[in-house]
Amino acid sequence: MNNAEVAITLDQSILDQLDELISRHLYPNRSRAIADAIKEKLQRLEQSRLVQECAKLNPDEEKALAEEGISEEFAKWPAY
């Protein structure tokens, strides 16, 4: 993984909380903690976008599309 150095400004209370996590050995350093937080946030945003897109789907239309032609195919399936 290629790393890039960036400078950020944080509220002191956030930095204090971050340093507390490091002192409790939950993270090895500030960089790792911040990178993990950003990664988690990006994943949540992507998941939220997927949920929003799925909410736009019409369940009846999706079911009809999924079942389209299934009766013809079903007749060709071997009996179990």
pLDDT tens string 32-79? 999 999 999 999 988 888 888 888 888 888 888 777 766 666 777 787
Instruction: Decide if 40 is inside a domain.
Output: yes
Structure tokens at 63: 């079911």
Instruction: Decide if 43 is inside a domain.
Output: yes
Domain span including residue 42? 13-73
pLDDT for position 41: 94
Instruction: Decide if 80 is inside a domain.
Output: no
Instruction: Decide if 37 is inside a domain.
Output: yes
Split into its structural domains, the chain has a count of 1
- Helix (H) or strand (E) run with residue 34 in it: helix 30-55
Instruction: Decide if 58 is inside a domain.
Output: yes
Does the predicted TM-score (pTM) go above 0.75? no
Instruction: Decide if 1 is inside a domain.
Output: no
CB distance 18 to 33 below 8 Å: yes
